[in-house]
Amino acid sequence: MESPDPKPSSGPALHLVAARVTTAGPVQSDVAADGSSQALANTRIELVFDRYLDPRTATRQAVCLRSDPNPVESAEDCEGGVLLNVTYDPAGRVVTYYVDPGQTPSLLPAATHYLTVYRAQGEGEGAGFRAFDGARLEERRELFFQVVDPGGLEPQLPPVVDDATCEQTATSFGVCASCHIRRPEATPDAPANEPPAGLELDSLDRALATGTRAAHGGSVGATGNQLGAKTPAKLGAGMPVLSPGDPGNSYLVYKMLAATEVDAATLAPGETERLRQGLITGMPMPPDNVRENRPDEATVRQITTWIRSCQGGE
């Protein structure tokens, strides 16, 4: 009989390192600890974490936003909460909430608003943020800010990316495309080549054609971690190389982050190595022995934008 997959061990607790709202300008500003921040009525809320998240926990149920000052312990207690839409940028570990434009009213009323960021209650299901290895938020966070409506505001929506920007993103794959290219025959400038794992990254069309399949690093086991499993016990099992519209569920992003220099000011010490050991199978991308043209955080952010907006995700 096949033995169950081992339960991944958790790293250090997850921390919320910044919370931002849209203020006059408009600009994104840190939420003041004393609640004096004046958010516009169409604010978007950005939460920045010090560890890479389990993207399955970056949901609207992971927070509660309302004008009622009474504390809430869990999503079930969030009576009268604002309906929010959510996106997750794994490169910056940023979860962004937008007021759902379909609700009435579509803007926040001018009043003090209270934001609760939930801590997961234990093992298994339940609202609350977790790191990719299952570590929970250190503590429930409660923030508050003022809402002002100067008039003439429209609901904020996730940014729309035009076709030219989508095409330009092809250059973001950088050195990865030099290996991930299919070249059946040698040319005067380059030898014949078969791309590793069949993944072609020399053009956006070929990336889309060869990347929307389960990553070869996905695991199979008795705990339901078959390729394509909806809720595998271990994050990454069955994860597609590229998931249109969902960069947090795209294995390629994590392979690149494992080889990327990111902002150490907001990243927990040792997090890149934890990502390599806990999620990545094989070498990061590009491999350690390739030192030129390594991606930086901005480059990976461009790729996450392409995955979200340029592959039919909208």
String of DSSP letters for 8-35: PPP-SPB-EEEEEEEETTTEEEEPPTTS
CA distances from 275 to 10, 65, 122 (A): 11, 31, 22
The Cα 44–Cα 156 span in angstroms is: 7
The Cα 223–Cα 39 span in angstroms is: 45
Task: Examine the fold and report which residue of 99, 123, 148 is the final residue of a domain before the chain moves on.
Answer: 148
Has residue 5 been placed in a domain? no
- Count how many domains the chain has: 2
Closest CA to 309 of 244, 212, 249, 250: 244
Task: Examine the fold and report which residue of 148, 178, 199 is the final residue of a domain before the chain moves on.
Answer: 148
What is the average pLDDT score of the chain?
82
Range of the domain at 206: 163-309
The Cα 167–Cα 282 span in angstroms is: 29
Would you say 118 and 129 are in contact if contact means Cβ atoms under 8 Å apart?
A: yes
Over residues 271-276, mean pLDDT: 89
The Cα 275–Cα 52 span in angstroms is: 8
Picking from 3-12, 116-125, 145-154, 305-314, which range would have the lowest pLDDT averaged per residue? 3-12
Picking from 72-76, 277-281, 300-304, which range would have the lowest pLDDT averaged per residue? 277-281
Tens digits of per-residue pLDDT, 62-89?
999 999 999 998 888 999 999 999 999 9
Q: Is the domain of 168 the same as that of 304?
A: yes
Q: Is the domain of 274 the same as that of 192?
A: yes
Closest CA to 232 of 2, 54, 3: 54
Task: Examine the fold and report which residue of 148, 177, 192 is the final residue of a domain before the chain moves on.
Answer: 148
| Amino acid found at 255 | K
Is the Cα dihedral 168, 191, 295, 91 positive or negative? Answer: positive
Over residues 24-47, mean pLDDT: 97
Residue 293 pLDDT greater than 70, yes or no? no
Q: Is the domain of 286 the same as that of 170?
A: yes
The Cα 281–Cα 258 span in angstroms is: 11
Task: Please tell me the predicted confidence (pLDDT) of residue 222.
Answer: 38
Q: Is the domain of 25 the same as that of 124?
A: yes
For 197, list phi and psi in degrees, rounded to 5: 60, 15
